[in-house]
Amino acid sequence: MSNSVLWYTTRGAGAVTLILLSCVVVLGILSTLRVQSASWPRFLTTGLHRNLALMTLVFLALHIVTAVVDPFTNLGWAAALIPFSSVYRTFWLGLGVISFELLAAIVVTSLVRGALGHRAWRAIHWLTYAAWPVGLLHGLGTGTDTWSAWMLAITAACVAGVGMAIFFRLTSGSADPLAAARTMFRSAVDRREA
Amino acid sequence: MTRLLGTADAMSPLPKVGSEIIEAIERSRLVGRGGAGFPVATKWRAVAQRSRGDAVIVVNGAEGEPQSKKDRVLMSERPHLVLDGAFIAARVLRARAVILYIGERHDAARNAMLRALSARPESERRLVTTSAAPARYVAGAEAAAVHFLNEGIATPTNVPPYPFERGVGAAPTLVQNVETLAHIASLARTGQAPQTTLVTLAGAVKRPGVLEVEAHATIGDSVLRAGGAIEAPRAILVGGYFGSWVEPEHAWNLPLDADSLRRHGLGLGCGVIGVLPASRCPVCDTAGIMHYLAGESSAQCGPCFFGLRALADACTRVAERGTNPEDIKRLQRWAGEVRGRGACRHPDGAVMFLSSSLHVFAQEFAAHRAHNMSRSA
């Protein structure tokens, strides 16, 4: 019984992680688009983005820990931390490990953003665009519930949500309302060597 | 009595001063003459008390304020005095570099400084590099100068860290206006800071230009020394575009020293005293200056960029279409909302200027009829 509890927890936490992570990605894109309305101020987007990201990590930890300690899987901690070191489903589990480690890097650098500087933080934050699809593929490839109707619906909703957000991000141009003016002013005060 | 202008500019060996000059500066209560009025001793002490490494001295002759000419005149007439101040700073603060940051259009001033520099001893010359400040209002701001020298972009950056903590090449950097450096050089040579200050008289005076006035002289004295007003003044702008309008009868007897001005909620800023004649329309002039200041926002902070533009537009609506209570109310409300919301003090200076306009010219703003601004200004 306790073993199946662990096993169900792994699967459930994996699905919840996908949902949360997709929400975090969508919120992150919405915040760069500066989406807002009277009932949805901008700080709500960034606040939710941050808090859901931390919650994602909690469920991700649950997903990994329950998978590793489950005696039936016999994965071992190394398999959870070193990509493609698992004997069981080497490739698909490896994708999960990569996705987890990218997310961990993104969260850690966000927590120390003040010390890191904006440019480096932003460069690392771009890795989200790798972490999310790699994590999704991990679920598709090795998920026990992948082809059940409810999980297909969840996956489809996550892909549609993130896909739409990326589409708007790509088509809306610069969301920085000051970009044009800043470029113009900078051209007047910029004397860097070409 | 030591003076800055009207005295021969000769080179002589630097006085042997050490860190005790910082106490002398503090006793003289000297404040920066670039516009911000920051206490000089505080900056020097911060650079002197660094934990390690060499310091950098930036000689700030950017002079981006359109009406001000005093820095250029000083650099042209007393380049050695300015350089004395820079090299005294370099010696006292153990600096490895002195950078002459001079406005790119101030050719006469830069040539005079370079000519003077070529006569200085090798031990001084080898410290010096020169840099041309872009001709924009914010380029002379301390953090913008450091940003320019580090990355080639003359826009202000977030402080802290202040340049005197972390400036050019990350070294503690003293950015000091040229007049301030000249004051320090006089102080080091004579043991007494000049009790004078440089001002630029602009607007409706007979002889606009740069004057050296006693610190206790009144605004009226300086207007008279510029030949007097050419017609009845409507108001006097104290401190340039980041300054304030003052009623002439109130301004006339106001002493120009920093303490007296501060007691009246004023500041000498960069030392511009502008005389607005009664024949000009203060509303149209305010709109014109607000437009200039909005255009000088470096577009880094939303409240400054959008706020100043909205304020300038509201001023222009009143100027061009006549007064309306909505715009007057907006101007008053927005002016309060912009203050303190930028990385630098650009928005604060602009709304301080605007608030004094709304106060001193309250009647004109309330009764203004449509003007064609291009004709009036």
Q: What is the pLDDT of residue B113?
A: 97
Residue A178 has its nearest CB partner, among B148, B151, B305, at: B305
Domains of chain B with CATH codes: 20-190 (3.40.50.11540), 196-277 (3.10.20.600), 282-376 (1.20.1440.230)
B40 band by pLDDT with thresholds 50, 70 and 90: very high
By a Cβ cutoff of 8 Å, what residues of chain B touch chain A? Answer: 132, 134, 136, 138-139, 144, 148, 151-155, 297-300, 302, 305-306
ipTM over 0.90 threshold: no
Q: Is B208 helix (H, G, I), strand (E, B) or coil?
A: coil
Residue B376's pLDDT band (boundaries 50, 70, 90)?
very low
Region B114-128: what's the mean pLDDT?
95
Write the pLDDT tens digit of every residue in A83-125. Answer: 998 888 889 999 999 999 999 999 999 999 888 888 899 999 9
Choose the weakest-confidence range: A177-181, B211-215, B359-363. Answer: A177-181
Inter-chain touch B132–A191, beta carbons under 8 Å: yes
Give the model's confidence band at B37: pLDDT under 50 very low, under 70 low, under 90 confident, else very high: confident
Give me the pLDDT at residue B175, please: 97
Instruction: Confirm or reject contact between A184 and chain B (CB < 8 A).
Output: yes
The sign of the CA dihedral A158, A160, A165, A166 is: positive
Structure tokens at A160: 């549609």
A181 chain-B contacts, CB cut-off 8 A: 297, 299, 305
pLDDT digits (tens, 9 = 90+) for B329-354: 999 999 988 888 888 899 999 999 99
The reply to whether A174 touches chain B by the CB within 8 Å rule is no
pTM surpassing 0.80? no
Q: How far is B143 from chain A (nearest CA, A)?
A: 14
What is the band of B163 on the pLDDT scale with cuts at 50, 70, 90? Answer: very high
Give the residue on A whose Cα is nearest the Cα of B295: A185
* Confidence at residue B373, expressed as pLDDT on a 0 to 100 scale: 66
Distances (CA, A) of B267 to B39, B237, B256: 13, 11, 9
Q: How many CB atoms lie within 10 A of CB B335?
A: 21
Q: Count how many pairs of residues, chain A against chain B, have C-beta atoms within 8 Å.
A: 46
- The single-letter DSSP state of residue B279 is T
For the cut 70, the answer to whether the pLDDT of residue B377 exceeds it is: no
CB of A193 less than 8 A from some CB of B: yes
Burial group, residue A107, by CB count within 10 angstroms (0-12, 13-18, 19+): middle
Nearest residue, CB atoms, A190 vs list B132, B152, B300: B152
Contact B160, B169 (CB under 8 A): no
- In this predicted structure, the answer to whether residue A74 has a pLDDT above a threshold of 90 is no
Q: What is the pLDDT of residue B13?
A: 86
Q: Which of B132, B148, B299 sits opposite A181 (nearest CB)?
A: B299
A185, A187, A192, A193, best to mutate vs chain B, most B CBs in 10 Å? A185
The larger pLDDT score, comparing residue B147 to residue A1, is at B147
Alpha helices for A33-89 (secondary structure H): 42-69, 77-81
pLDDT band at A194 (very low <50, low <70, confident <90, very high): low
Mean pLDDT of chain B: 92
Give the start-to-end residue ranges of the domains of chain A.
2-189
**For residues B227-247, average pLDDT:** 94
List phi, psi (to 5°) of B367. -110, 10
Instruction: Give Cα separations from B120 to B11, B56, B81, B128 (angstroms).
Output: 8, 19, 12, 11
Q: Do B299 and A182 touch (CB under 8 A)?
A: yes
> Which DSSP string do the residues of B123-192 spell out, in sequence order?
HHHTTEEEEEEPSSGGGGSHHHHHHHHHHSB------SSPTTTS-GGGS-EEEEEHHHHHHHHHHHHHSS
- How much is the mean pLDDT over chain A? 91
**Binning pLDDT at 50, 70 and 90, where does residue B366 land?**
very high
The closest alpha carbon to B64, from B298, B234, B253, belongs to B298
Residue B9 is predicted with a pLDDT of: 87
Q: Amino acid identity, residue B279?
A: S
Q: Which residues contact A189 (CB under 8 A, 6 or more apart)?
A: B134, B136, B138, B139, B144, B148, B153, B154, B155, B298
Cβ B243 vs Cβ B213: under 8 Å: no
pLDDT, tens digit, for every residue of B322-332?
A: 999 999 999 99
- What is the average per-residue pLDDT within B367-373? 80
- The residue type found at B104 is E
Contact B302 A178 (CB under 8 A): yes
DSSP annotation of B31 reads B
Residue of B nearest to A190 (CA): B153
